[in-house]
Amino acid sequence: MIYYIYADDKQEFVENCKSFLEDKTITYLPFSKLEDLHVADVTHLIATGCLYELKLIMGIAHQNGIPLGIVPTSEQKELIKTFALSSKTEEAIKQALIPSEKKIDLLYCNGEIVLQEVVIGDAPPLDRFDSILNGKSYIDRIKIFWRTIKRVKGLKHTQIKITDAKENEIKLSAVGVVGIEYNNNTFASKLIASQLSANDGKLSIIILSPTSIMQYMGYLFKSLVSHLTPHTLPKSVGYMRSSKLIIEPKGQMDVLIDSTQRQIIPIELEVKEKALALNVGKAFWEKQSTQTNVKDSIKVDHLPSDEESITYLSTAIPLFSHASKAQYASLFTNLREESKLSSTFMILLILATMIATFGLFINSSSVIIGAMLLAPLMQPIVSLSMGVLRQDEALQINGIKTIAIGVLTVLATAGLIALFTPIERLTSEMSGRLSPTILDLFVAIVSGAAAAYAKSNEKILGSLAGVAIAVALVPPIAVAGIGLGWADWSIFLNAFLLFMTNLVGIVLSAAFIFAILGFSPLHLAKKGILTWLIIVALVSIPLYSSFEKMKEDVKIQKTLANLTFNVGKHDVKLTHIELMHRKKKDEIRCEVISTGILSTVEKNRLKNAILKSINKEAEVIVTFRYRL
């Protein structure tokens, strides 16, 4: 016998359904008279109602091995999507009447069937259906993103103990947990869609445990704004899969079962494997994982579990991550050691200076790169940046002392080599370090950020060699030393400005990255970062002036490049234009390809044409080449 169980307030809907069931022998029974149901006589059940009523019928069908079909109303959009039911009444009825050949698992939470999800605590947006983005414009999605960020900012961590079916106990800190059985189009299910199956006897939980707002923002932006699903779990999210999980929060956490609040702690989630023959759409089975792996799975090693992190995160989630005590102790031990002056530091620095200086004289970039790799000057600079961040006086003094002595040593070594080398020729490698601009500051800032990140992560410490090459600390000081050896103050000042650019850029950006990585609270970091921000601003003044000069030089070069005109009897063409900035008057040096030897009058016309083209006074020095 087929029974159609329906909600009392859906009488009108059911009357409409009867027109499609006239050829069937069906007993209609409202939920208010459910006690009149004789399960022994039932061969098939059809149900229409709210989630609570449907779950009640599903429980009866499960306990008595009765196949069940659901006829949803048009308002039950998420139910329709979850089980791939038809939104058209006639088709939904046809679907509900056909006994299912496959059985699905049923997820129970403390004895209550979970149709869609269990939410413990708060887990935005993992606890939401992706339908919130349907039809939303880019601006609307950005608004949803910022609302979600505000929700995350107000969350607090709670210590949770989770016990799986094999009695393994895991303790961690989290703001929320989402338990699911099927791919139900929530953001949580989308993260682990490849692991979800409706008949493997396993349930899954997604654990939200962000250690900073910044850490979680990437996932939120990708999911809510870009509407993309990450291929891997975000760093702030953990995952567990088992047939049974007991979740015991240390503090009070709200529990929602299918959006209905329950006061139940501890929370016991358990799967009844292949428990119910439920009529679902074909698309439902297509969404299930085809993997045959039935093993339990745990991915929570990256989530905070130590007492220090739990205590720190229990008040509020910070903007930036907080480094653990072990990370802090390890990094500080290294930085304190590297900030101190040592014989090893001095020997390496002198050798690197000698290599760099000789490389500058012979104009060899490969030799200079070797000196960059050997020079240990980056170490005390990174140590200084941490001292600036933490307002650690000993670290700052040691760092400044080591840097100062190191710089003086490089200047003296390079100066002596220049003094006793019988060559006073400015090579291209030297001149390349005499015109620092704002672009060099940007390189230093990025290099400092890379150095701090590499220093805080032992796995990528080898990357510091690349940072040393990028920022090139010793070569500009060596050029300044050569300027001293030649008693050329212009060379000294310009080259030393490049070193100062590198120094302040690295200190500022390294301190900022250390702050982001959680090695100092923001209230302590502000003073040091602001101080060095002012220093960087002061250094930027001459750098910006040089940048403007470089822009002007490029403009002049473009204006004169391949310029062809007639100066009288001969045609001339300008190539290889170089601009040399001198104290009294700038020089323009170029090659002139001419059809013949120019007279004095033609040479004057050429000079006037060049100066008129660039609209500025300058000395013009040319090398003539003749077209035969």
Q: What string of H, E and C letters represents the secondary structure of 303-368?
A: CCCCHHHHHHHCCCCCCCCCCCHHHHHHHHHHHHHHHCCCHHHHHHHHHHHHHHHHHHHCCCHHHH
- Whole-number pLDDT of residue 406: 94
Q: ω into residue 266 within 30 of 0, thus cis?
A: yes
Question: Hunting for tokens 């707002």 — which residue is that?
Answer: 213
The pair phi, psi for residue 424, each rounded to 5°, is -125, 75
Residues of the chain short of pLDDT 70, as ranges, are 291-293, 308, 322-327, 458-471, 521, 562, 628
Are the C-beta atoms of 396 and 387 separated by less than 8 Å?
A: yes
- Whole-number pLDDT of residue 311: 75
- In the DSSP assignment, the letter for residue 602 is H
Tell me, letter by letter, the H, E, C secondary structure of 452-485.
HHHHHCHHHHHHHHHHHHHHCCHHHHHHHHHHHH
Continuous segment of H or E residues that includes residue 55: helix 51-64
CA distance 413 to 423: 16
- Whole-number pLDDT of residue 424: 85
How confident is the model over 161-180, as pLDDT tens digits?
999 999 999 999 999 999 99
Closest by CA position to 576, among listed 566, 586, 591, 597 = 591
How confident is the model over 82-138, as pLDDT tens digits?
999 998 999 999 999 988 889 999 999 999 999 999 999 999 999 888 888 888 888
CA distance 313 to 309: 6
Are the C-beta atoms of 512 and 393 separated by less than 8 Å?
A: no
CA distance 360 to 305: 53
273: Cβ–Cβ under 8 A, 6 or more apart, which residues?
105, 199, 200, 201, 243
The pair phi, psi for residue 248, each rounded to 5°, is -125, 95
Are the C-beta atoms of 171 and 118 separated by less than 8 Å?
A: no
**3-state secondary structure (DSSP) of residue 279:** strand
CA distance 289 to 291: 5
Q: How far is CA 165 from CA 108, 198, 221, 296, 297, in A?
A: 14, 18, 35, 9, 11
Closest by CA position to 493, among listed 569, 564, 436 = 436
Q: Where are the beta strands (DSSP E) in 115-251?
A: 118-121, 158-164, 169-174, 176-180, 203-208, 237-242, 244-249
- Whole-number pLDDT of residue 65: 92
Q: Where are the beta strands (DSSP E) in 97-252?
A: 104-109, 112-114, 118-121, 158-164, 169-174, 176-180, 203-208, 237-242, 244-249
- Whole-number pLDDT of residue 54: 94
Q: Where are the beta strands (DSSP E) in 55-134?
A: 68-70, 104-109, 112-114, 118-121
613: Cβ–Cβ under 8 A, 6 or more apart, which residues?
559, 560, 563
> Per residue in 211-239, is it b (16+ CB within 10 Å) or e — as a string?
bbbebbbebbbebbbeeeeeeebbbbbbb
- Whole-number pLDDT of residue 114: 94
Helices (runs of H) and strands (runs of E) counted in the chain? 21, 22
Q: ω into residue 72 within 30 of 0, thus cis?
A: no
- Whole-number pLDDT of residue 326: 64
- The residues that bridge with 44 in the sheet, in sequence order, are 2
CA distance 216 to 627: 67
- Whole-number pLDDT of residue 113: 94
Are the C-beta atoms of 60 and 66 separated by less than 8 Å?
A: yes
Closest by CA position to 241, among listed 173, 172, 293 = 293
Closest by CA position to 413, among listed 491, 369, 343, 352 = 352
Are the C-beta atoms of 255 and 267 separated by less than 8 Å?
A: yes
Q: Please state the length of the chain.
A: 628
The pair phi, psi for residue 244, each rounded to 5°, is -155, 135
Are the C-beta atoms of 477 and 407 separated by less than 8 Å?
A: yes
Both tokens assigned to 553: 């030089």
